[in-house]
Amino acid sequence: MACGEFSLIARYFDRVRNARLDVETGIGDDCALLNIPEKQTLAISTDTLVVGNHFLPDIDPADLAHKALAVNLSDLAAMGADPAWLTLALTLPAVDEAWLAAFSDRLFELLSYYDMQLIGGDTTKGPLSMTLGIHGYVPVGRALKRSGAKPGDWIYVTGTPGDSAAGLALILNQLTIDNPEDAAYLRQRHLRPTPRILQGQALRDLANSAIDLSDGLISDLGHILNASGVGARVDLDLLPYSDALRRHVQPEQACRWALSGGEDYELCFTVPELNRGALEVALGQLGTPFTCIGQISADVEGLHFTQEGKAVQLDWKGYDHF
Ligand code: TPP
């Protein structure tokens, strides 16, 4: 059956209206019209995913939909925002109905899980790529920022960074793991990251600064340090590794992936001593694994690493597209 641009949008993307959100006009006019709840600050972010750079051409469309939305949600999580609206600009090489059905089914599953609405976008023909615009809101004055870290703050990460890079290495056949469960776990961490939305919201009144881990801890914690005008010491012995990574990857490679692999979409945040107890309770209630890996300091510049009590120099860099 032929499927032009407008019937494609109608069939796959103009599906659900959200009862919670006050959307005056969604898909179907030149602009979306959104009524924003009172005393909320809008949080807006954009991310592009391009075939060959962010994913391989044969990626499962449901995995692609999950990842595209999850990486955008992760930006809202890092600000402590509540997800609301999504725009999707999709470039497709051709109309493949089975592909579109699988892609849009997973997209709408996740949109419904996070109580969001797709409110507009664009479809064009070309090499497979997409740009998502995500919008959320956060009570005025309570957004988490990169710029708030203070000397003495403790540095934390959620989850187990490094898993995503190991998953990518498996997908690219640069790593083989003979245990199917461990291999599947690492691939999933790469293809279906978990945005830490509730955790970000729980950190609003506890953390002084936060960022999500997209380019690797070295680069992303570096952004917090630059924005806050502070330095930090990180103890490599404290980095949390998953059992799967620990079992199949040499310690140095695991460390490199945790610090510079990227795409973990975990949160890195800093918390003053006074809030550590409340943090244990808040993230404990959510069942989120989180680990203290170091401390913000006024008497060092940039990021300093120690291992077994000694200073270590690392020249690894975070992921850079250029
Ligand atoms: N090659 C393929 C085929 N897939 C990949 N996922 C990568 C390489 C690795 N990779 C692509 S983008 C990226 C990494 C590690 C970093 C994060 O992406 P970016 O677009 O910089 O995210 P943002 O910082 O904008 O959230």
User: 161-187 pLDDT, tens per residue?
Assistant: 999 999 999 999 999 999 999 999 999
**131 CA distance to ligand 1 centroid (A)?**
14
Probe residue for ligand 1, chosen from 73, 131, 168, 196 as the CB with the greatest number of ligand atoms within 8 Å: 168
- Angle at CA 260, nearest 5°, toward 147 and 264? 75
Probe residue for ligand 1, chosen from 51, 53, 173 as the CB with the greatest number of ligand atoms within 8 Å: 53
- Angle at CA 228, nearest 5°, toward 215 and 146? 45
217-260, pLDDT tens digit by residue?
999 999 999 999 999 999 999 999 999 999 999 999 999 999 99
ipTM over 0.85: yes
* Residue closest by Cα to atom 1 of ligand 1: 53
Q: Per-residue pLDDT averaged across 91-102, rounded?
A: 96
Q: Is 56 in the pocket of ligand 1 (CB under 6 A)?
A: yes
pTM value is 0.96
Residue type, 19: A
* pLDDT the model gives residue 2: 58
In whole angstroms, what is the distance from residue 264 CA to residue 78 CA? Answer: 13
**282 CA distance to ligand 1 centroid (A)?**
30
* H-only helix segments in 57-196: 61-79, 97-113, 163-171, 180-191
Chain-wide mean pLDDT for the chain? 96
Q: Per-residue pLDDT averaged across 294-314, rounded?
A: 96
Cβ(270)–Cβ(224) below 8 Å: yes
Torsion on CA atoms 70, 71, 72, 74, rounded to nearest 10: 80
183-207, pLDDT tens digit by residue?
999 999 999 999 999 999 999 999 9
Using DSSP, state whether 22 is helix, strand or coil. coil
Probe residue for ligand 1, chosen from 75, 215, 259, 260 as the CB with the greatest number of ligand atoms within 8 Å: 215
- Angle at CA 298, nearest 5°, toward 293 and 302? 65
Q: Is 55 in the pocket of ligand 1 (CB under 6 A)?
A: yes
